[in-house]
Structure 1
Amino acid sequence: MSYDGVGSRAVLRSIAFLAAGVLTVPWLAGCGSDDEGSKPLAPQDIAAAGRAQMADGGTLRWAVDALPQTLNAYQAGADTGTTRVAQAVLPAMFRMDASGRPQRVADYLEDAKVVDTEPKQVVVYRLDQRAVWSNGRAIGADDFAAQWRALSGKDAAYWTARNAGYDRIEKIEQGKNAQEVRVTFARPYADWKSLFSPLYPKEVTGSASAFNDGARKELKVSAGPFSVQKVDAQSKDVVLVRNPRWWGHRAKLDQIVLHEVPRDKRADALADGTVDVAELDPADVQKLTLTAGPPGSSALLSLPDGGAAAQALRSWAVRHGSDQQAAAAERQAVQEGRDELSTYLRQQQSLRGFTLHKSLEPAYTQLALNGASGPLADERVRHAVAHAIDRKELAEVALKPLGLPAQPVGSHLALSGQDAYADNSDALGGRDTARAKALLSDAGWVQGTAAQQKKGDKAAGPEGRAATAGPSGDGTYVVGRDDEVQHDGDGKGLTRPGDRAAGDEGQQGEERQGQDGARDARSQQFGQDGRSYTQGGAPGAYAPKGTAAPAGTGTLVKDGKPLTLRFVLPSGPGSQTLEKVADRIRVMLDQVGIGTQITKVPDTSFFRDHIAAGQYDLALYSWPATAYPATDARPVYAKPVPAADGSLNVQQNYSRVGTDQVDQLFDQALSTLDEEKERELIRKADARIWAVAGSIPLYQRPQLVATRSTLANVGAFGFQTPVFEDMGYLKKGAQPGPAPSKSS
């Protein structure tokens, strides 16, 4: 399983099949000409071709991590396989374009819009008159209403993974005719476009038994270019066949077979023809890009697996036996080397029929900091970690060898190309080792052995701080000009922190200003409570002006204990990139006196026993981007609250760091129907999330997909939802060219 993969939106950010740091997501869901969010960092790479260039028929075998445990995308067991099936066989009112923005799907919807806001929000969907389920029944209001009741959260008999948005609906009814569906909301809901994608037939959602069990292994009723023929546990296949009742463009392929192939077996499966399409981990890409000499060449015996191995065995045999034994050992080594290399060359020859497509996934890898306990419970230490690392360098470690843009991610809530994206990392700041050391000193971490500190290190001054302050440039921390401004969070530029609002429309907890107006905004920074403080006044956010940065790079100590953080990593196939990034982070932290203890754990326990259980200090894993951050990201950054049983309810906030203001900004964004205002609130929320330093976005994940070279309209999709009816094989002599034409 991929360590940083992306799955289905139905279980977005609530079900983690994070085998190496990945959460599932589904259909994923900028400003002026200078807006960094105006376009994705990397375009999609799908060998686009018009339908006229493609042959009719054929089977596409597509590798998936595992056979889906359920075909119901709204259940907890849903995964990437579930998503692939739902995208191919079920209606979606909106799907993502290449820039990660939701677009109406014309095959299902003629129109969908908000028609009333007072006294309540009303959305009217006008369905395509040809839209029918595979049993011949027209898609209509009954299907919308059944799905709403199943996902509203009011009936505990339905085993649902999420009900966000559906819990705000008051009623659903037929409009002026059978093709019109009228949805009335009890409370305003900004992300209404996220609903009913996918839409299941009432045969699945109309009863709890059908919802819970009926759609796990089969979908008897569907409404897409393909339908589910069977789920075969023995062959580990999900077989999708062309839907004869599909009213849109006829699918080019006869069949799509989703076949279970573990990540570390993908290259072999491509070479032996088991699959035609497979997403690869970076370590496997070499198997597709390396070339070898022609079979039978003399180079076979000069390679390490042949000649060097034979020479080593001969030397051993000469020392321990006869020349005859040595000769026999050498012949054996040569033959073994020849056989291994011949197999390798045959595989390479087979792989020459494939093309590697490269883009960036709609997901990013982050460094998570557990703020619930230990040293990282102190915000100053979290800020020190953030200032110790070079995000640009880490992005280059992961992406530069692949030829992909090595640009750090600037937002927790969106990626470049999406409407809500703005680089708010200035709210925390970049690498600054002097500041990191000063923050650690202010938090009481000092140089010296544990024994020395127990006795009291006189040189460090009271509480491990310098007794005197010095000017900038001599190791003393002094706020510089970089501290005088903060990103405003709305993509419109920088403002002084004292001028920034903590919320909107009378929100409590506004940044305090002196009544006489004399407070210098340049001396203010955000504390964990979201308020602005003068230097030295924030509760654990910034070192006071004049705090000395400790010299040297040895691990710091406090109360007789060294500053060592538990750094947890997955150990399975595909984790090589994470290991390289973690090793670089370890070196960076060591330079400011923070020690790390890297622990590699099995895939199966990485998320369950460590991330979700809070048994870590630092960890690397990935979050998906979404077109609907107000809905999908709120539980990820919500302030943890005590549960009725006395435990801490963290929802999906596995860093366990949050503030009331972030929650309020999400709630406001979710309730406004002004799209520009929603984006502004999301950007402000992101700036506050940066400021508390519970997680540090690093880089957008690479997306590497190998496809048979004769295939078109399939590959590295980037943000875009795949268009399954346009996938297929090129006609003989045809070459990929213009994007698929809806009129052809």
Structure 2
Amino acid sequence: MSHVGAGPRALTRSVTFLTAGALAVLTLAGCTSEEPEGKPLAGPDIATAARARVADGGTLRWAVDTVPETLNAFQSDADATTHRVAQAVLPSLFRVDAAGRPVRDPAYLESAEVVRTEPKQVVLYKLGQQAVWSDGREIGAADFAAQWRALSGKDAAYWTARNAGYDRIEKIERGKNDLEVKVTFSRPYADWKSLFTPLYPKDVMGTPDAFNDRARRKLKVTAGPFAVERADREDGEIVLGRNPRWWGEPAKLTQIVLRAVPRAERIAALTAGTLDLAEIDPDTAEEVGLAGAPPGAASGNPLASPAAPSSGGPAAGPEGRSAADALRSWAVANGSDEEAAHDETLARAEQREALARTQRRRTALRGFEVRKSLEPAYTQLALNGADGPLADERVRRAVARAVDRDKLAEAVLKPLGLPAEPLGSHLALAGQDAYADGSGALGRPDTKEARALLVDAGWVPGGPVRERQERKDEQKEDGEEAAGAEGEGDEESQDTDDGTYIVGEDDKGEDDKGEDDRGEDDKGEGERQGGERHEAQGGAPGAYAPKGTAAPEGTPAPEGTPAPAGAAAAPLAKDGKALTLRFVLPSGPGSGTLRAVADRITAMLKRIGVRTDLTTVSDESYFRDHIASGQYDLALYSWPASAFPATDARPIYAKPVPAADGSLNVEQNYTRVGTDQVDQLFEQAAGTLDEKEARTLIRKADSRIWAAAGSLPLYQRPQLMAARKNLANAGAFGFGTPVFEDMGFLAKGARGPDGGGKRAGSPAP
């Protein structure tokens, strides 16, 4: 499951998400740079091919997560597929380029510019002469005005999800002719390029009934290279066909079928040949890469593995068996013990059939390849500052400084062959104009400083932990049988009914390298489903520890002795209560990466004496019942990036305010951490027409968000797409808006992508 929002607008950012003190303010002076830092970490991987090399015709079968409830992108239940359809069938006045910047779409706009700033901002749009709706009517001022009235927030009859930007418009007028639209703003708006994308016809926006109901299942009037032929939730498909009135380069494909296929079922659909393009998880990517690997190759590609050994004599057994095992099996099957030989013969037959199935599957997957980039989205660690220990900014900062983001990014992205760089901003991604690394406002990972912050907040070793240990020592001295039954070295750290906290072997020191580099076998039992509590486990007694792991200490250090670097610190307590944080995660398919990241974060927090209570819940209830309702301390989820952070990021970091009914209005700030300073900086950035000043204000806002430690950006999300090898101009799009009219299958005789075959992970220009 991908906990990431559907589209570029703020209130459609529903997901596969706070008050800085004097210390935060003092650290802001030198923590932002004046210029954007670097280029996008990875460019698009879409097998670019010139249109002349793409065949005319064909159907692209593209896996999506859902057939959406609505085709109206401005309604609250719009999702990723809603926005994908809108990109293909509706005008986008400004598209997003490969560097995440808005660029004019010449198919619709000849020009768009601010022509006046005083006394009020005026933007003049000059539309393309051929731009028409599918019913033959010219795109014009009437469509702009209808969308403004629907989204301005002034008419409650429109069930809109957002009005940001539209609420600043004062009037819309026809210009010198029908191809000109003049928009006057009541107050300056820096992100004016975010408006009218997508642009719906006045048939949809003109009345509340049309907006609320008619556009949910059908879009009769469109203006893109494709049009909606059918949207069927029962069949799980949306069919897009060529728009005969499209005035631009004609679409190469005859149809695009967006087919709802659950993530867990996509490998089977690819094998069955019912899909041509699908976003996949790392395990599926590895299998696709393995199928395409040359026989016997030991590729350096992390998505490919050596091919299976060939069958034959006793030295070459089924996949996964060593030559010695194969020889032993052959000997038993041909030995004198008839019963053992019979059993072994049956087992060998089952293994041969399993191998044959695997080889058939790999043969079916050989027509696919993995195209990979980085999504325009990032994964973050959210710290709920509404109540509990994390309501104290010092505790949030301690937790944040205990997390090594470099190691987390490396663990997730390096095995995929993608740039393993941690994200330095909440509000932009590397390569975007507003990007600058603002993490200096928080500081580098430092367990010593993190422990000092916790001590300053009143969390110290001992308390109920020490009392429990003293009772255990007394029981041992008295020779009580119960104490011996408890066992030593394998007891989980846990809360007891009397409020004490039991210290087990898991609380003893470990070497830093050993903790971070643990393999899958060293991570413990895994999650208990159904919302049950569990802790990330350490090595069981007698198990082999990773090479380099320090031997456990025999006795606890004297009180007040600082824990060595990399060692698990003694559990902390305050006012008779141990410091334990509820860490909530989703349990559905595709959540394995989040759980692995959570395990690593749990290990990092142990080094400063913070324990976690890991709980997995269903995907359906993850956001509704936990994130949005604030029933968590720590959580992992993602936000999409935006080319307009002053508008789109503001609801995510706005300071929560009391609502009229007494509840707290958090908008999309699910961490409940916000400051007046951040709100003011967003407002100033949205209201200035000086682009350089706007970038400076956004970077200052980001620094204050870092200092408040309500959320910790970890890494840009990987984007892995399985695509037919002959599919051109489609795949892992990265930042860029897809060019639907150029997608298609290579003509007979055309081979490989243009540009010398430059592929995934290549730096963008």
Deviations 1:290-337 (A, max 9, x none): 24437765655464699989999x99xx9xxx9766555444433333
1:406, distance to aligned residue in structure 2 (A):
0.7
Q: Does the aligned pair in 2 maintain the 1:2–1:65 contact within 8 Å? A: no
Q: Does the aligned pair in 2 maintain the 1:188–1:671 contact within 8 Å? A: yes
1:562 maps onto 2:578 in alignment = yes
The one-letter amino acid of 2:647's match is: T
The one-letter amino acid of 1:737's match is: D
Which of 597, 605, 609 is residue 621 of structure 2 equivalent to?
Answer: 605
Q: Which residue matches 2:635?
A: 619
Report the secondary structure of 1:196's partner residue: coil
Distance 1:119-1:77 versus aligned 2 partners, 3 A rule: same
Q: Does the aligned pair in 2 maintain the 1:48–1:739 contact within 8 Å? A: no
Q: Measure the CA separation in 2 of the matches of 1:407 and 1:639.
A: 29
Q: Measure the CA separation in 2 of the matches of 1:149 and 1:169.
A: 9
Q: Which residue matches 1:120?
A: 120
Q: Does the aligned pair in 1 maintain the 2:378–2:713 contact within 8 Å? A: yes
Q: Measure the CA separation in 2 of the matches of 1:128 and 1:241.
A: 23
Deviations 1:90-119 (A, max 9, x none): 001001000000000000000001111111
Spell out the pairing of 1:31-70 with structure 2 (5 A cutoff): 35=35, 37-70=37-70
Deviations 1:471-495 (A, max 9, x none): xxxxxxxxxxxxxxxxxxxxxxxxx
1:148, distance to aligned residue in structure 2 (A):
0.8
1:340, distance to aligned residue in structure 2 (A):
2.5
Report the secondary structure of 1:57's partner residue: coil
Q: Measure the CA separation in 2 of the matches of 1:135 and 1:38.
A: 45
Q: Does the aligned pair in 2 maintain the 1:301–1:307 contact within 8 Å? A: no
Q: Which residue matches 2:300?
A: none
The one-letter amino acid of 1:293's match is: A
Report the secondary structure of 1:578's partner residue: helix
Q: Does the aligned pair in 1 maintain the 2:191–2:647 contact within 8 Å? A: yes
Spell out the pairing of 1:172-321 with structure 2 (5 A cutoff): 172-291=172-291, 292-293=307-308, 299=316, 301=318, 303=320
Q: Which residue matches 1:664?
A: 680
Q: Does the aligned pair in 2 maintain the 1:388–1:436 contact within 8 Å? A: yes
The one-letter amino acid of 1:697's match is: P
Report the secondary structure of 1:696's partner residue: strand
Q: Does the aligned pair in 2 maintain the 1:409–1:415 contact within 8 Å? A: yes
Deviations 1:66-96 (A, max 9, x none): 1121111111111111111100000010010
1:738, distance to aligned residue in structure 2 (A):
4.2
The one-letter amino acid of 1:43's match is: G
The one-letter amino acid of 1:724's match is: F
Q: Measure the CA separation in 2 of the matches of 1:614 and 1:231.
A: 35
Which of 692, 695, 709 is residue 676 of structure 1 equivalent to?
Answer: 692
Report the secondary structure of 1:37's partner residue: coil
Distance 1:452-1:15 versus aligned 2 partners, 3 A rule: same
Q: Does the aligned pair in 2 maintain the 1:15–1:161 contact within 8 Å? A: no
The one-letter amino acid of 2:428's match is: A
1:235, distance to aligned residue in structure 2 (A):
2.8
Report the secondary structure of 2:460's partner residue: coil
Distance 1:644-1:302 versus aligned 2 partners, 3 A rule: closer
Report the secondary structure of 2:450's partner residue: helix
Q: Which residue matches 1:446?
A: 460
The one-letter amino acid of 2:649's match is: A
1:699, distance to aligned residue in structure 2 (A):
0.5
1:651, distance to aligned residue in structure 2 (A):
0.7
Distance 1:269-1:738 versus aligned 2 partners, 3 A rule: same
1:129, distance to aligned residue in structure 2 (A):
0.8
Q: Does the aligned pair in 2 maintain the 1:310–1:331 contact within 8 Å? A: no
Q: Which residue matches 1:103?
A: 103
1:666, distance to aligned residue in structure 2 (A):
0.4
1:430 maps onto 2:429 in alignment = no
Distance 1:186-1:303 versus aligned 2 partners, 3 A rule: same
Q: Measure the CA separation in 1 of the matches of 2:312 and 2:98.
A: 46
Which of 598, 608, 611 is residue 595 of structure 1 equivalent to?
Answer: 611
Q: Which residue matches 1:702?
A: 718
Deviations 1:709-730 (A, max 9, x none): 0011111111000000011111
Which of 359, 362, 387 is residue 373 of structure 2 equivalent to?
Answer: 359
Q: Measure the CA separation in 1 of the matches of 2:756 and 2:218.
A: 33
Which of 381, 389, 394 is residue 395 of structure 2 equivalent to?
Answer: 381
1:605, distance to aligned residue in structure 2 (A):
0.8
Report the secondary structure of 1:404's partner residue: coil
1:442, distance to aligned residue in structure 2 (A):
0.8
User: CA RMSD, aligned part only?
Assistant: 2.8
1:37, distance to aligned residue in structure 2 (A):
2.9
Distance 1:447-1:214 versus aligned 2 partners, 3 A rule: same
% identity of equivalent residues: 64
1:6, distance to aligned residue in structure 2 (A):
4.5
Q: Which residue matches 1:166?
A: 166
Deviations 1:601-641 (A, max 9, x none): 11111111111010111111111110101101111001111
The one-letter amino acid of 2:358's match is: Y
Q: Does the aligned pair in 2 maintain the 1:453–1:560 contact within 8 Å? A: no
Q: Measure the CA separation in 2 of the matches of 1:144 and 1:57.
A: 34
Report the secondary structure of 1:360's partner residue: strand
Q: Measure the CA separation in 1 of the matches of 2:185 and 2:756.
A: 39
Distance 1:54-1:76 versus aligned 2 partners, 3 A rule: same
Q: Measure the CA separation in 2 of the matches of 1:573 and 1:451.
A: 37
Structure 2 residue ranges without an equivalent (≥5): 18-31, 292-306, 471-559, 758-765
Q: Does the aligned pair in 2 maintain the 1:572–1:603 contact within 8 Å? A: yes
Q: Measure the CA separation in 1 of the matches of 2:312 and 2:432.
A: 52
- Indicate the larger mover: 392-401 or 338-347: 338-347
The one-letter amino acid of 1:45's match is: D
Distance 1:118-1:704 versus aligned 2 partners, 3 A rule: same
Q: Which residue matches 2:144?
A: 144
1:414 maps onto 2:428 in alignment = yes
1:593, distance to aligned residue in structure 2 (A):
0.5
1:214, distance to aligned residue in structure 2 (A):
0.6
1:739, distance to aligned residue in structure 2 (A):
11
TM-score using structure 1 length: 0.81
Q: Does the aligned pair in 1 maintain the 2:723–2:731 contact within 8 Å? A: yes
Which of 727, 749, 765 is residue 711 of structure 1 equivalent to?
Answer: 727
Q: Measure the CA separation in 2 of the matches of 1:311 and 1:571.
A: 41
1:586, distance to aligned residue in structure 2 (A):
0.6
The one-letter amino acid of 2:401's match is: H
Structure 1 residue ranges without an equivalent (≥5): 22-31, 457-546
The one-letter amino acid of 1:336's match is: E
TM-score using structure 2 length: 0.79
Q: Measure the CA separation in 2 of the matches of 1:100 and 1:556.
A: 44
Q: Does the aligned pair in 1 maintain the 2:380–2:711 contact within 8 Å? A: yes
The one-letter amino acid of 2:394's match is: R
The one-letter amino acid of 1:281's match is: D
Q: Measure the CA separation in 1 of the matches of 2:383 and 2:234.
A: 42
Which of 730, 733, 754 is residue 737 of structure 1 equivalent to?
Answer: 754
Q: Which residue matches 1:8?
A: 7
Report the secondary structure of 1:9's partner residue: coil
1:209, distance to aligned residue in structure 2 (A):
1.1
Q: Which residue matches 2:409?
A: 395
Distance 1:549-1:147 versus aligned 2 partners, 3 A rule: farther
Q: Measure the CA separation in 2 of the matches of 1:437 and 1:702.
A: 33
Which of 553, 578, 588 is residue 569 of structure 2 equivalent to?
Answer: 553
Q: Which residue matches 1:653?
A: 669
1:52, distance to aligned residue in structure 2 (A):
1.2
Which of 699, 704, 712 is residue 688 of structure 1 equivalent to?
Answer: 704
Report the secondary structure of 1:172's partner residue: strand
Q: Does the aligned pair in 1 maintain the 2:282–2:720 contact within 8 Å? A: yes
- Indicate the larger mover: 443-452 or 670-679: 443-452
1:358, distance to aligned residue in structure 2 (A):
1.1
